[in-house]
Amino acid sequence: MGKRPPIPPDIENAQPPLPPLPPPSRPQFRPPVPVPWYAWLVPLILAANFITFASTMYVNDCPARSDECLLFDVLGRLSFQPIKENMLLGPSIPTLRKLGALERRLVEEGEKWRLISCIWLHGGLLHLLANMISLLCIGMRLEQEFGFLRIGALYVISGLGGSLMSCLTDSRGERVSVGASGALFGLLGAMLSELITNWTIYDNKCTALMTLILIIALNLSVGFLPRVDNSAHCGGFLAGFFLGFVVLLRPQYGYVSPKYIPPGYDMKHKKPKHKCYQHIFRFTSLAILLAGFIAGYTKLLREHTVHSETFRDFN
């Protein structure tokens, strides 16, 4: 019988081939979760409004002019005007006018500062509480997301826009207007433009948009009540809406900041920080905003009112 030939050593000791190495995984870019801003400006604005209202009531000094002051035994000099004069528990019209209420006739005579001072005055305690509750609900979240500088600019510029619109629609000069509602509607308008321009980063987009539009519509409907200056609401809303496109931009979904990309890694399909439509909205809105303020202010300086009986409006 023949023997099997010996197996060569290199075949006998051969090991099975190693599996191929997997391709290197793509690096995971995980920037840190953004830390919310510490909201201090909105509480400061709230405190300033309450201090201003207390100062207004002190200057008003109802007991010096009337024996029917509300809560005189409790508040003394800070007591409210009689209900027949002010249903909102506040001062008299002459006091508001003296301290900076918006009145077109006085603005035309050179007191332009009233366009800003009126947003810090309120017609009564009920008026003040309604506005400050709205400020807390709207402003705190916005300041935590975007910081005090942008929200402060939105508040003041929207208030100025509301005052300008109020003057322009008061052709007879019969309105004495006070209140921060123009600034608050500007924050609402900015929330709407922020949702539109940062559309790519939101989930449930249509639901968020419809909810916000409903809230805005309900608030604007309050302006049809008697003695409510809806023109200031509309002016503030428009100013805040256009300004929101300018100052409330966020990076588009999928954008990675260069500081979070590992050294030496080449991203072939890196997304730009903002989409093209965001830049279009920004520059178009800025142009509209500047043109609106310039045209409105110029019109206010050129026109003159027909003086008539004075009424007080709240915004």
**Which of the residues are catalytic?**
181, 233
Q: Give every CB contact of residue 32 below 8 A, 6+ residues apart in sequence.
A: none
Nearest to 131 by CA among 242, 244, 232: 232
Task: Report the alpha-carbon angle 208-147-36, nearest 5.
Answer: 70
Helix (H, G, I), strand (E, B) or coil at 284: helix
Q: Which helix (H) or strand (E) holds 41?
A: helix 41-60
> How many whole angstroms separate alpha carbon 192 and alpha carbon 116?
24
Q: Show the DSSP H helices in the chain as ranges.
A: 9-12, 41-60, 72-75, 93-99, 104-108, 114-117, 125-146, 148-169, 181-197, 205-221, 230-247, 276-302
The structure tokens 């200031």 sit at: 232
